[in-house]
Amino acid sequence: YDDYVNVVSAHAGKDMSGFFAKYAKGTEDFKPQLKECFDWLGLEMREVLTGNLCETHFGYKLVEQADKTFVSHIHPNSPAAFYELVVNDQLIAVNGFAVRSDAHRWINYFGLFPQELTVMRNGQLLTINIKPDGKEYYKHYRLHRIDNPNRNQEKMFEQWRSKQ
């Protein structure tokens, strides 16, 4: 970690340890900083939903291995965390429908209604009833050019793009 901070500081030409303490180790929201940087280039950052309700509205991610589906991530303070879904739980069924390699299809099919998940945890079958809380988790972002960039934004964007 310290080596990384030192390399970034050397390239920035100034001490970046405060930045890393605030954003990498701390809990400060870095989106305002990104917005400021992107604005300089005439870009804006837009939130995009993933299309996977388990990620966006229930707060957990899935990974498929062979024809088994496992919970890979749990967003803190999400319904998945509240209803005690656990990383590495194997998803067996959604509302009684067996899951093979189609878990997202079933979860999306039942939508934003409460869902009954059957999971295998440490060799034991468990039923977890989970419902969304109205918040969004695991947001994705896309960059878009603003409609009418000023001359400085055009210049900065071209300089930035030429370094790619």
In the predicted structure, residue 152 carries a pLDDT above the cut 80: yes
Mean pLDDT across the chain, nearest whole number?
93
Band of pLDDT at residue 164, cut at 50, 70 and 90: low
* pLDDT band at 69; cut points 50, 70, 90: very high
Comparing 31 with 71, the larger pLDDT belongs to 71
User: Which two three-digit tokens encode residue 115?
Assistant: 């869902």
In percent, the amount of the chain with pLDDT more than 90 equals 80
- pTM (2 decimals)? 0.72
Separation between Cα atoms, residue 77 and residue 136, nearest integer Å: 11
